[in-house]
């Protein structure tokens, strides 16, 4: 094989050979992530002043909510592009976005008793809502670790599943801990 010709048996990790091999679930998630990212960024922009008013009620700075929405909207958009193109970084960003959903909804579940006690309200509906959301994200996470999906993203099948989960969830838990300790 010449140095100028690509080796068809060993494609570069970021090179897709057949885009039609994209699993339908990845296609659907890429479209959903794109819509979610755009709507999150738009909502963040439209509600900018409203979040400033809500910051007193919520107990944390409005800029934190605005920054979180903007960053997560951009992560969703970038993950959508990466998934669509079959890039390894798209898989990692998607994993981060999924993990963020699990951790955020898990955190909300853990916060409900304190909110009920502090405000004297019942949050039975909220408990079910956050539990369903966390379970939905967990199902998407399981799908993302499936052979069809990891095979679509070149080089990812070799990444140990436990190691990637520890990397993603470890970074998310550290992020939530820093935010909690900083703004508590």
Residue 83, CA distances (Å) to 80, 94, 122, 123, 124 in order: 5, 8, 40, 36, 36
Q: 2 lies in a domain?
A: no
Q: 100 lies in a domain?
A: yes
Q: 10 lies in a domain?
A: no
pLDDT, tens only, 59-110: 778 888 888 899 999 999 999 999 999 999 999 999 999 999 999 999 889 8
pLDDT, tens only, 107-134: 889 888 887 887 777 777 888 999 999 9
Q: 13 lies in a domain?
A: no
Q: 134 lies in a domain?
A: yes
Residue numbers of the domain that contains 133: 22-183
Q: 14 lies in a domain?
A: no
Q: 1 lies in a domain?
A: no
Environment class of residue 83 by beta-carbon count within 10 Å: exposed (0-12), middle (13-18) or buried (19+)? buried
The closest alpha carbon to 115, from 77, 158, 58, belongs to 58
Q: What's the number of domains the chain is made of?
A: 1
Q: Are the CB atoms for 168 and 101 separated by under 8 Å?
A: no
Q: 133 lies in a domain?
A: yes
**Angle subtended by helix axes 161-183 and 88-119, to nearest 10:** 40
Name the most confidently modeled range: 14-18, 81-85, 106-110, 178-182.
81-85
């Amino acid at each position: 094989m010449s140095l100028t010709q690509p080796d068809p048996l060993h494609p570069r990790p970021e090179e897709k050979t057949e885009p039609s091999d994209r699993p339908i679930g990845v296609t659907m998630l890429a479209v959903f992530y794109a819509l979610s990212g755009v709507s999150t960024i738009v909502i963040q922009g439209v509600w900018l002043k409203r979040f400033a008013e809500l910051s007193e009620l919520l107990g944390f700075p409005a800029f934190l909510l605005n920054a979180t929405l903007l960053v997560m909207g951009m992560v969703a958009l970038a993950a959508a592009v990466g998934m669509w193109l079959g890039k390894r970084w798209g898989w990692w960003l998607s994993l981060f976005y999924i993990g963020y959903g699990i951790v955020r909804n898990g955190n909300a579940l853990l916060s409900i008793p304190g909110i009920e006690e502090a405000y004297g309200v019942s949050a039975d509906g909220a408990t079910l809502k956050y539990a369903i959301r966390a379970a939905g994200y967990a199902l998407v996470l399981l799908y993302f670790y499936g052979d069809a999906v990891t095979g679509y993203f070149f080089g990812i099948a070799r990444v140990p599943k436990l190691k990637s989960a520890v990397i993603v969830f470890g970074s998310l838990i550290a992020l939530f801990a820093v935010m909690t300790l900083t703004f508590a």
